[in-house]
Amino acid sequence: WYAKPDAGRLMISPADADPVEAQDIYPDDMVLAEGLDRFERAVTIPVTRPLRSWAGLRSFLPDNTPAVGFDANADGFFWLIGQGGYGVQTSPALGQFVRDLVIGAQQPWHDTVQSALDPNRIM
């Protein structure tokens, strides 16, 4: 599980990674209850009631690292996949990185990040 501050409250995730076929996905009451139980056992913050719940499909690549960049085999095709459930945390930085790659801007850290996230490493 993980928890992070969000709009004056906590967003708590069970961070489950059960394999499922692509489909419309809905929060599972048992997964929510188990995640909240693990949270309450680890901290001193009681959860009186969840205000909202949501579910999403998490995509993973074989090396558990996102792929971000242009496809070497498909002209103009750009990949941004495999955030594995951490899109909420990584989207701001990856969004800036994607913008820079698409418009051709260069930052000092781009080469290191680009080689680590290159989608062609898995093709």
Confidence of residue 123 (pLDDT cuts 50, 70, 90): confident
Per-residue pLDDT at 80: 95
pLDDT of 37 over the 90 cut = yes
pLDDT of 29 over the 90 cut = yes
> What is this structure's pTM?
0.72
Arithmetic mean of pLDDT, 66-90: 92
Phi and psi angles of residue 41, each rounded to the nearest 5 degrees, phi first? -70, -25
Q: How far apart are CA 120 and CA 74, in angstroms?
A: 11
Per-residue pLDDT at 21: 87
Q: Where are the alpha helices (DSSP H) in the chain?
A: 29-42, 87-103, 110-117
The residue among 45 and 86 whose pLDDT is bigger is 45
Give the Cβ contact number of residue 14 at 10 Å. 20
